[in-house]
Amino acid sequence: MLIGVVLILIFNEYLATLIQDKNISDLGRAADMLWLSIGEPHIIEIEYTGKKKSKEVSEFAIHFQCQWRFVKGGEILLASCDIYNPYAPELEYKDEWDWDIFGREKEQSSIFDVRRLELKENYLPLKIKNACISSTNDLRIDFENGVYFETFINCSRKYEYYRFIDFINGEHIVVFDEL
């Protein structure tokens, strides 16, 4: 247990050093995984189907596969379960509605897809004031405008909760029940 606490303290310092005062510049989803883009644009070389390509990415990203939410003043602005629910209440119990389709009209979209655009329009960029990880690997990011982002781990088994990606150094840090 002591090793886990020490690793969390080290990772907290590492995380704070890298992303404090940087901006969340974009957010979105790949299926039901949330991604956050952090920092300035950065060009990387990737290999795709045997060919190298240049791709613009942010300095850092975090991919979340756990429960999460954005909150301001006691109001949930956007949350992980919003991905699975239709924006239009009359579609909520319709078997033909599929949460995993992008680019639909507002009335056919998920709550996430609609509120994500509202969050981007009203709040981005979000400047990071502080970031820390709890002893249960919950992540909290506080922003300068009173918005905060938090995860809450809801699994007792080893599972990838989220992944911190450092595109500058080409590193991935996967956070699960053991850092």
* Cis preceding-peptide flag for 125 (omega within 30 of 0): yes
* Token pair recorded at residue 130: 């502080």
- Residues 115, 130: Cα–Cα separation, whole Å: 24
* Residue 98 and residue 78 in contact, taking contact as beta carbons nearer than 8 Å: no
Q: Is the pLDDT of residue 174 over 50?
A: yes
pLDDT tens profile 83-141: 999 998 888 877 788 888 877 888 888 999 999 999 999 999 999 999 988 888 899 99
- Residues 84, 136: Cα–Cα separation, whole Å: 25
- Residues 33, 83: Cα–Cα separation, whole Å: 9
- Residues 56, 25: Cα–Cα separation, whole Å: 13
Angle at alpha carbon of residue 64, lines to 50 and 126, rounded to 5°: 105
- Residues 6, 179: Cα–Cα separation, whole Å: 10
- Residues 70, 73: Cα–Cα separation, whole Å: 10
27/45: higher pLDDT: 27
pTM, full prediction: 0.87
pLDDT at 135: 81
* Token pair recorded at residue 70: 């954005």
pLDDT band at 177 (very low <50, low <70, confident <90, very high): low
Helices (H), 44-154: 111-123
pLDDT tens profile 135-173: 888 999 999 999 999 999 888 777 888 999 999 888 888
User: What distance lies between CA 75 and its chain's CA centroid?
Assistant: 18
Q: Is the pLDDT of residue 178 over 80?
A: no
